[in-house]
Amino acid sequence: MTRPAAALWIWYHGGTFLGFQRQAQSPTIQESLETALREVGVPATVMPAGRTDRGVHARMQVVSLRLEKGDSPEALATRLPARLPVGLGLCVARKPHPSFHAQWSAEGKTYRYRVQLGGTVAPEWRPYVMNAAEHPRLAPHVPSPERLAELLGMAVGQRDFTAFHESSSPRKLRTLESATLRELGGGLFEVVLRGDAFARYQVRYLVGSALLTAAGGLPEELWRASLEVGERIPGLKADAAGLLLWEVHYPAKLDPFTPAERAAPPGLPEGPPFLGAPEG
């Protein structure tokens, strides 16, 4: 009898953890999740849709795993939440399509990046945003939302984003399907990025360098060259605290989760850093 498969939709506040991947230091998301699974009788190694770095949050992270014989995702969903630490939770556990894999079945992801461009950061948002006015390479010329939106729009398309990611990620063409800026109120904005794949630190370097260019700290011709020919630039890696993995996208025939669950995730905490507004 084959061990049954499960697909878990989890969320987390990244400031509590040292990134996703298990490592010598702790706690990490993977270590905390696998420890909780063992405590409820599932000694499994989880396979995520992707790894997030230290301080990065996730509204939707998806993991694949194998359960013990006789177990089921539905039964696991009743046992697991009570064992998870503060800052890590479960939205949905589903039996996936036989060929489903959390990482290799994904056809794209949406990230959101929260940045304060004016006013004062609200206390409830402080752990989850980058305050442009406090960054030494941006202050005192805080970028305007209009200029930031214009620069981000230039990045849309299929291109070599090598100027915006670590050399440890393979150099290849990636498609940024959309890049928009939304106002959340009180001077708080979010960048919404959707693409087929993202290299390590790509979102943080892309947003940070757009902010730097908008603030006048990087010439626009260098920003354009980095997008058009992959020219390296003295860019800016935006703070991890502002970054949120919002959603992982799968082909309809492989998606373990329903449209209703995606629109209103069960068990997702209210308040920052998660908000239910549609993509901009």
Q: What are the domain boundaries of the chain? A: 5-105+251-263, 108-245
Question: For the chain, what percent of residues have pLDDT higher than 70?
Answer: 98
Q: Provide the residue type at 19 as one letter.
A: G
Give me the pLDDT at residue 280, please: 40
Cα dihedral sign for 24, 90, 93, 242?
negative
Q: What's the chain's average pLDDT?
A: 94
Residues in the chain: 280
Question: How far lies 117's CA from each of 17, 178, 209, in Å?
Answer: 27, 21, 15
Q: Catalytic: 53?
A: yes
Continuous segment of H or E residues that includes residue 151: helix 145-154
CA-to-CA distance for 153 and 24, rounded, in angstroms?
40
Tokens of 244: 């949120």
CATH architecture of 5-105+251-263: 2-Layer Sandwich (3.30)
Tokens of 106: 């994904």
Q: Which residue among the candidates 53, 71, 160, 196 is catalytic per the annotation? A: 53
Residue 148 scores a pLDDT above 90: yes
Give me the pLDDT at residue 1, please: 57
DSSP 8-state secondary structure symbol assigned to residue 108: E
Give me the pLDDT at residue 276, please: 65
| pLDDT tens-digit map of 55-81 | 999 999 999 999 999 999 999 999 999
Give me the pLDDT at residue 277, please: 53
At the topology level of CATH, where does 108-245 sit?
Alpha-Beta Plaits (3.30.70)
| pLDDT tens-digit map of 179-216 | 999 999 999 999 999 999 999 999 999 999 999 999 99
